[in-house]
Amino acid sequence: MVQRLVLRNLFHRPVRTGLTILAVAVEVMMIVLMVGVSEGLLRDSLRRTRGVGADILIRPEISGRTITTADISEKLPGILMDRFPEIRSAMGATVFTPGNLQTITGVDWERFDAMAGGIVIFEGRTYRAPYEAIVDEVYARQEQVSVGGTIELMSHEFEVVGIVETGKMSRVFIPLETMADLQGWQGRFSQLYVKLNEPSRARALIDELRTLLPNRHIISVEDFLALTAASVRQLSSQFVNVIISIAVAIGFIVVMLAMYTAILERTREIGILKAIGASKSFIGSIVLRETLVISFLGILLGYVLSVLGEQLVAIRYPLVSVVLLPDWMLWAALLTIAGSIAGASYPAWKAASADPCEILSYE
């Protein structure tokens, strides 16, 4: 009976109820998608680093994870391979970050292909001339370029000569020499990738390399991935927390306004219920039950919108990966319910405290 009353109350004003459910759904979607985008970008970055196939990374001594310089001698790979027979291959790459979160990588394609264990070329070929570029399939889809088309990189036009599988180091590749010319990095690499005959030897070799190259940041790829994941999650959590706070605040305000309006509109009904003996807790529980129904429907709709949002992003922005995390979907639901209950608390208290005599005399 009480559930029936709750549902009838909600459907008595379908537009208001629908808008409130939608607002709650948007709150859930904001949380789920924001966390999903953050995690998706991170996982994509980690997958591409792992896709190089290296066991050890040698980088400049920098604090951040984004490299903007090239100060490792191009002779170092040869020196290391001569000195350490357990190294199967060593390869340098130069990295330029134009500022749109994407990187352009200068790399010797043959060495890169060998280290990665073969990179699938879907269309075209590798580069043979200075101003030729290779892009991965996701970049090609996002920028709508195909083999034979041109893209502008570092204020220069490059012809796209190949489209390759995604998940290998970068999305845009140009010849190592071209990058060196354009950036003035002749004879230098931004970072070095080292592949071992026995990956289990990585720890021991890292110790030796650190002695040999004390001014370099030398780390196993697995440790680099773990550290990167931790630091990026820590950094992004601040931004994500801000978004979550805004989303919860919006949900709180919308639910409070909706329920406050509802109880103002139903003042007489509340007075009637109190007159026939409804206790404060009975009246308050009706308001809170209505809020919970709105929250649950909003959460379900929010999940649907999140999945649709994920699909939309994948179609419209292929470079942006979205990962819907089940634990964060649960968190979004819990935060939404907590925010909604908090938002409904004042209207519930106001309804419960209503004076039936006053209401029935003057309403």
Give the residues lining the site for other proteins (CB under 8 A).
1-2, 4-5, 8-9, 12, 268-269, 271-280, 282, 356-357, 360-361
- Give the residue with the Cβ less far from other proteins, 126 or 261: 261
Tokens, residue 236: 């992004």
- Give the residue with the Cβ less far from other proteins, 64 or 277: 277
CB 289 within 8 A of CB 9: no
- Give the residue with the Cβ less far from other proteins, 320 or 359: 359
CB 64 within 8 A of CB 82: no
DSSP letter for 161, please. Answer: E
The residues, any chain, with a CB within 8 Å of residue 363's CB and separated by 6 or more, are 267, 268, 271
Q: Rounded to 5 degrees, what are φ and ψ at 191?
A: -155, 160
- Give the residue with the Cβ less far from other proteins, 76 or 286: 286
Q: How far is the CB of 338 from other proteins (least distance, A)?
A: 28
Q: How far is the CB of 1 from other proteins (least distance, A)?
A: 5
- Give the residue with the Cβ less far from other proteins, 8 or 128: 8
Q: How far is the CB of 290 from other proteins (least distance, A)?
A: 12
Could you tell me the sign of the dihedral formed by the alpha carbons of 156, 161, 162, 168, in that order?
negative
For 252-298, give the secondary structure using H, E and C. HHHHHHHHHHHHHHCHHHHHHHHHCCCCHHHHHHHHHHHHHHHHHHH
Q: How far is the CB of 267 from other proteins (least distance, A)?
A: 12
Cβ neighbourhood burial of 105 (10 Å; 0-12, 13-18, 19+) = buried
Q: How far is the CB of 262 from other proteins (least distance, A)?
A: 12
Rounded distance, CA 189 to CA 177, Å?
A: 11
- Give the residue with the Cβ less far from other proteins, 318 or 356: 356
Residues making up the chain, counted from first to last = 363
Q: How far is the CB of 349 from other proteins (least distance, A)?
A: 15
CA angle 45, 202, 66 (to 5 degrees): 30
- Give the residue with the Cβ less far from other proteins, 59 or 274: 274
Q: How far is the CB of 279 from other proteins (least distance, A)?
A: 5
